[in-house]
Amino acid sequence: MISIKEYAANFSTIMDAFLKIGSKVILITSGPVVEPIVNTSPEMKATDITWKNADIQTCEDALNVIAREYNLPLVDLVSTYSTNPNPGLYVPDSLHPGSERHQILIEKVFDSILTY
């Protein structure tokens, strides 16, 4: 609901605040969604919000730039889950991760922590 420029600026402001107080930061992208399911579900239709993997990819690209600028690790869930995600890795809304997808996320985050 904001431009990618504003998204990146907001993230940079957040990074500045966390790093200023000495936090260790690992960035995590949003994962892709199963568009045909999530965008036709009654719950999502009621919110009048649609989800597009192309938009998620654009945000992931911006986070990659920020991660390089701040020399921070990035857990890239777009690449991890692919742009053609398996509905079996999601709860029925096809937006939120199921248990197997959570396990993959946990492993990726731990790998980032161990190499930080």
Domains in the chain: boundaries: 4-115
pLDDT in tens, 69-111: 999 999 998 888 877 788 888 888 888 889 988 998 899 999 9
Confidence of residue 8 (pLDDT cuts 50, 70, 90): very high
d(CA 87, CA 98): 9
| pLDDT for position 68 | 95
Amino acid in position 17: A
Mean pLDDT, residues 15-29: 94
Half-sphere exposure of 87 (CA within 13 A, CB side): 8
Q: Spell out the CATH class of 4-115.
A: alpha beta
Give pTM, 2 decimals: 0.84
Length of the chain (residues): 116
